[in-house]
């Protein structure tokens, strides 16, 4: 039986309408109708952030930029992503976005070392293994069954936020790109605003230089080669895969479900790689220290360092902040009076009065 679920055509992204109602849309619908919605809302904050990262990766790949402020301004002034360049790109690569394609399933790869296990282990908000059942009452021995839409969201979240640890193999699991530190996204009134504002990062970002044939994972014949710890560029980084994950479909071909998957270690991301959407402090030795949530300290108390964009010496604010500031102050493409929201996400990996097995059940929006 040939299962299929194409993320460009099938609904799986939960989009929030202005009236608060949530509607699941395909990747194509979400991008082309972004002006109609105010936000994405996943089942967890991490799922939401992972979807935003994928949407930005698709847009950056389609644009191969934006390469400069003028290119960005054309998108902003158009007020829509429903454009020929996006349609053409999605049509060109649609065959690489099938979740269950037998040759190249989206964001996945088989590994002969791995054995099937319950899908519960992939879903971060479900209790499994050593994680205590604090707010979730799934039992790993009984398993769970996910729709294809939920499986797609869990897959993308895992490729962005999975933690390091033992794998039962010679190679250990390593942290995924957004596992540590706080991720900052700028947001306006609509989903279009959020995507367009953070697309501006490409104009100024210098933390992920191009060192090879930079392309997203779905354009590569094998995204795990060459074996590397430094991304080949920003597109490679946005679609970086620390895991070889493989969803195992079952049920009807027209309505596939997933109850099992396999997982094995894959790429290892160097700790020297700095994320353009994270903020870093500079320690007394000149090293970079990730900004993290602290249990006894509100994030806003350090906000002055995030906005100190003029020759910062003691910190490295997110590069998307620099981009937005430049679009307003240097080019006048954004009014100086514009009010934007900043959305922070992170794993809350420490929590008082909880043992270590319970900590990872907590997500912080």
- Dump pLDDT digits (tens) for 1-31: 799 999 999 999 999 999 999 999 999 999 9
Q: What is the pLDDT of residue 355?
A: 34
* 229-279 per-position pLDDT tens digit: 999 999 999 999 999 999 999 999 889 999 999 999 999 999 999 999 998
Q: Give the residue from 146, 181, 145, 130 showing the smallest Cα distance to 160.
A: 181
Annotate 118-135 with b (16+ C-beta within 10 A) or e (fewer).
Answer: bbbbbbbbbbbeebeeee
Mean pLDDT of the chain: 87
Q: Is the pLDDT of residue 334 over 50?
A: yes
Q: How far, in Å, CA of 277 to CA of 199, rounded?
A: 11
pLDDT in tens, 94-133: 999 999 999 999 999 999 999 999 999 999 877 555 454 4
Res 332: pLDDT: 92
Does the bond joining 171 to the residue before it have cis omega, within 30 degrees of 0? no
Higher-scoring residue by pLDDT: 116, 281: 116
Percentage of residues in the chain having pLDDT higher than 90? 69
Task: Give dist(CA 61, CA 15) in Å, integer.
Answer: 22
Band (311; pLDDT cuts 50, 70, 90): low
What CA–CA distance (Å, rounded) separates 194 from 271? 28
Cis bond before residue 226 (omega within 30° of 0): yes
């Amino acid at each position: 039986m040939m299962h299929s679920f194409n993320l460009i055509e099938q609904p799986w992204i939960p989009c929030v309408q202005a009236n608060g109602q949530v509607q699941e849309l395909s990747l194509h619908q979400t991008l082309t109708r972004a002006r109609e919605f105010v936000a994405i809302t996943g089942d967890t904050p991490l799922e939401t952030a992972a979807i935003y990262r994928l949407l930005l990766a698709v847009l950056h790949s389609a644009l191969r930029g934006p390469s400069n402020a003028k290119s960005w301004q054309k998108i902003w002034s158009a007020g829509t992503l429903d454009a020929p360049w996006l349609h053409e790109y999605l049509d060109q690569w649609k065959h690489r976005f099938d979740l269950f394609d037998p040759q190249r399933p989206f964001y996945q790869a088989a590994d002969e070392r791995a054995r099937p296990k319950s899908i519960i282990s992939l879903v971060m908000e479900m209790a499994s293994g050593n994680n205590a059942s604090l707010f979730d009452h799934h039992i790993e021995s009984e398993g769970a069954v996910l729709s294809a839409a939920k499986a797609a969201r869990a897959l993308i979240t895992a490729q962005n936020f999975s933690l390091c640890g033992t794998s039962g193999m010679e190679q250990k699991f390593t942290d995924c790109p957004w596992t540590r530190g706080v991720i900052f996204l700028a947001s306006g009134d609509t989903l279009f605003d959020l995507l367009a504002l953070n697309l501006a990062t490409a104009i100024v970002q210098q933390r992920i230089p191009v060192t090879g044939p930079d392309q997203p994972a779905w354009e590569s014949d094998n995204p795990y080669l060459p074996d590397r710890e430094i991304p080949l560029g920003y597109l490679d980084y946005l679609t970086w895969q620390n895991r070889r994950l493989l969803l195992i479909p079952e049920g009807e071909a027209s309505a596939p479900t997933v109850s099992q998957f396999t997982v094995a270690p894959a790429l290892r991301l160097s700790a020297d790689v700095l994320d353009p959407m994270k903020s870093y402090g500079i320690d007394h030795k000149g090293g970079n220290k990730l900004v993290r949530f602290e249990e006894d300290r509100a994030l806003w108390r350090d906000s002055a360092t995030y906005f100190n964009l003029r020759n910062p010496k003691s910190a490295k604010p997110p590069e998307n902040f620099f981009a937005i500031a430049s679009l307003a102050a240097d080019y006048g493409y954004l009014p100086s009076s514009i009010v934007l929201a900043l959305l922070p996400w992170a794993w809350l990996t420490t929590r008082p009065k909880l043992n270590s097995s319970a900590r990872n059940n907590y997500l912080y929006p």
